[in-house]
Amino acid sequence: MKIKPTKRTYESEDLVVVWQPSLCMHSEKCWRGLPDVFQRDAKPWVNMDGADDKRIKEQVDMCPSGALSAYWKNEETEKSFKHTDTIQIEVSKNGPLIVKGKIKILHSDGETEIKEKNTALCRCGSSKNKPFCDGTHHKIKFEG
């Protein structure tokens, strides 16, 4: 079962944070690293007044799945990060494959989508959002 993609934005005067929950693998890096901004039990869960924009951007850039991204309003597009010709794939211990770089995913139903920056792909086989990781590997104690 594929989770319907959604996208939510949170803005300060200069920064836009984009959250795509369908890509989240629940690594918890956001709220553990910057709990005054990323408040997992609050609605809305992103408090742009919780830290300065530079610090928020730094924390967002640590998101391993690409579910969180950020861009400066004075840049033309949220695709403001630099691309390289090399795609990097990191095998997380007991977790997903982290693909770093721009990729095109061709789904079995014929749908295609472009992912940029970081994409976490399921390696345990139990994600309810395949091919993306949804964090189920923690629940099933996946080892690999």
Going from the first residue of the chain to its last (144 residues), give the mean pLDDT of each consecutive group of 10, the final group possibly shorter: 74 95 89 95 95 96 91 68 70 94 87 88 94 94 94
Alpha-carbon distance values, 102 to 46, 90, 99 (Å): 26, 14, 9
Domains of the chain: 8-72 (3.30.70.20), 88-139 (no CATH)
pLDDT score recorded for residue 106: 87
pLDDT score recorded for residue 138: 93
pLDDT score recorded for residue 111: 86
What whole-number distance in Å separates Cα of residue 37 and Cα of residue 46? 5
Q: Which are the contacts of 124, defined by CB distance < 8 A and separation ≥ 6? A: 96, 136, 137, 140, 142, 144
pTM comes to 0.65
What whole-number distance in Å separates Cα of residue 12 and Cα of residue 122? 33
Dihedral (Cα; 102, 26, 61, 69), 10-degree rounding: 60
